[in-house]
Amino acid sequence: MIGGLFAHSLSYWWVMIPAVLLGNIVGAIPGFSAANTIIILLPLTLSVDVEAALIFMMALYSASQLGNGIPAILVNIPGTGGAAATTLDGYPMAQKGQAQRALVYCFVASIFGGLIGTMFVLVMLPVLSQVGNYLHSVEMVVIILFGLTLIAVIAAQDLVKGLLAGMLGLLIGAIGTDFIYSEPRATFGMIELYDGVPLVPALIGLFAISEVFMLIERGRVVKDEFMDVVVSSKFYDVWLLVKESLRSWFLMAWTALIGVIIGIIPGAGASIAAFVAYQQARTFSKTPELFGTGVPEGVAAPEAANNGVTSGTLVPLMAIGVPGGSTAAIMMVVLQYHGVTLGPRLFIDRPELAYGIFTASFITYLMMIPLMFPMAQYMSRVTTFPAFFLVPTILTFTLLGAFVPRTYMFDMGLAVAFGVLGYLARKTGYHVTALLIGIILGPLMEQYLMRALRISRGEVDILFSSTLGNILWVFLVITLVLPYVRSHMAKQKVEAA
C-alpha cells in the first residue's frame, strides 16, 4: 500500500516543484513563513482538489524550513527563530570562505533530517500520536530548560556576559500581558506590546540590522584573505561536500528524531527543537570547544531538527485533529473546508490523504536534491558582494518583512531599536543569540511553569512529580555535567601521559 501511496504522491510533481521554489524564497525572507504564505494563497488551495492542496501546503512548509537556513549562513540573518541556532556556526563558516560547505551541510541535513523524520513518523504513527498525551506542563518545563541551557554553552567564552544577555532576553520576553492576571507588564504604555514582544522584529533587529551595521565596517561578509576560496569554488566541490557531510549521518538522524518528538508537542515548534539539537550535538561532540567557531556539525544538527519538526507537527493534526503548530492549524482549515474529518477514522476512510501527506513530504525532500544543490555554489557568492549592495538590500527586505506579520509601522521601528541593542551587544562582547534564546523561550517557559504551579497551587514539588519528567531531569543533569566530566577525564589522561 505504501508503495502505491508514494507513486500517487509522485504524480503531483507539478504541484511540488513550484511549492518547493516558493517555500525556499519565503523561508529565506524574515517575516514570511509557510503559515502566512499559505494564508495568502488560501484562494488557490481552496479552489484545487484536496490532495493537490494538501501536497502543495506540505511541500511549501518543508521547503520553507530548508530556506530559513540560507540567509542564516550567508548573512547571519535567520529566516525564522528556528534557524537562529544555524547562525552560530553557519555564519563563522561563511566568513572563513566556507559558505558553500555550510550550505551543503545545511541542505544535506535538512533533506536527510526531513527524510528520516518522515519515515520515522510513517512507521511509528500509532505510537507517536500518543506522545502528546504524556507531555504536560512539567515535562515541557524541562524540555525548554534543555534549550535555555544553550545560553550557558554560548556563554562559555565569557560566562557572566553570556548569562546577562540571556537574562535580559528573558526579561524582554516577559514584556506584555501576564498569562494569569492579564495585567500589562513593562509595555512602556504602548498597546502594540500588550501581546508581548513580536518575534520577527526582534529577530530582524538583533541579527539583520546589527549585522548591517557591522557590515558597513567590514565591507563584505567574507574576510579578504578567503575571497579566492569562494570565487574559485566549483560545481564538482558540491558533490565532494555532500559525501563529506553524509559522514555525519548519525548526528543528523538523532537530531531529526529530536525534531520529530518536539514537533509533536503542540505549541513547541522549530525554535526549541533547533536549540535543543544544537545543545545536544555540542554536548556529545568530541570537540565541543570548537562549536561556535564554524564547525559543520553546528549547522547540521539544528537544520536536521528543524526539518524533523515538519513531520512531527502533522502527527497530532492527522491522528487526533489537534494542530501541532500555526502551519498545521492553517492546513486544518483547508482540510475542513474540503470536508475532510481529521482523526483516527481518516486513516481507514481516506488513507491516501492521511498517509499521503507524509509520503508527499518524503518525495518533496527528494525533489529538493536536484533543485537545491546546484544553487549552493552561486548562493555562496553572496558573501563576496560589497556592502553598498548588501546593506540596502538586506535593510529593505528585512524592514518590510518586520511589517508583514502584524502590519504595524511600530514593528519596523521596534526592529531598528533591537538593531541598535544588537549592535551595542556585539561591539561589547555580548552574544545576540543568547538574547534571542531568552526572548523566544522565556515566554514559553513562563507559560508552562505558571500553568504547572497553578495546577499544584504553588507547590514547586510538581516539577518532580511525574516519571517522564524525572527521566528528563536526569537527562538534563547528564547533559550539563557530561562536558565537565569529559574535559576532566581528558585532562587526567594528558597528565598521566
Partner 1 sequence: MEKRPGLIPELIIPIGAIAFGIYYLSTVWSLPFQARVVGIYVSGAIAILSLIIFVRLAREFASGRKSLGFRGFFTDPTAEVRRWGVLVMTVLFIALMPLLGFTVSLFLFVLGTVLMIAGMERLKHALIIASATTVIAFAIFILLVKVRFPLSIVDTTIRNWVL
Among 321, 446, 465, 470, binds partner 1 (CB under 8 A): 446
**What string marks each residue from 366 to 395 as x (binds partner 1 by CB under 8 A) or -?**
--------------------xxxx-xxx-x
Among 7, 46, 186, 490, binds partner 1 (CB under 8 A): 186
Min CB(161)–partner 1 separation in Å: 7
Closest to partner 1 by CB, 122 vs 450, is: 450
d(CA 152, CA 155): 5
Closest to partner 1 by CB, 201 vs 312, is: 201
Min CB(27)–partner 1 separation in Å: 14
455 lines the binding site for partner 1 (CB under 8 A)? no
Q: Which stretch binds partner 1 (CB under 8 A): 177-185, 237-245, 267-275, 359-367?
A: 177-185
397 lines the binding site for partner 1 (CB under 8 A)? yes
Closest to partner 1 by CB, 47 vs 428, is: 428
Min CB(26)–partner 1 separation in Å: 9
Residues between 39 and 78 that touch partner 1 (CB under 8 A): 40
Min CB(194)–partner 1 separation in Å: 12
161 lines the binding site for partner 1 (CB under 8 A)? yes
Closest to partner 1 by CB, 16 vs 172, is: 172
Min CB(413)–partner 1 separation in Å: 6
Min CB(479)–partner 1 separation in Å: 21
407 lines the binding site for partner 1 (CB under 8 A)? yes
Q: Which stretch binds partner 1 (CB under 8 A): 82-90, 110-118, 407-415, 482-490?
A: 407-415
Question: In this structure, what are the phi and psi dihedrals at residue 185, rounded to the nearest 5 degrees?
Answer: -125, 125
Binding site for partner 1 (CB under 8 A): 40, 160-161, 163-165, 167-168, 170-172, 174-175, 178, 180-181, 183-187, 209, 212-213, 216-217, 386-389, 391-393, 395-397, 399-400, 403-404, 407, 409, 412-413, 416, 420, 424-425, 427-430, 446, 450, 453-454, 458
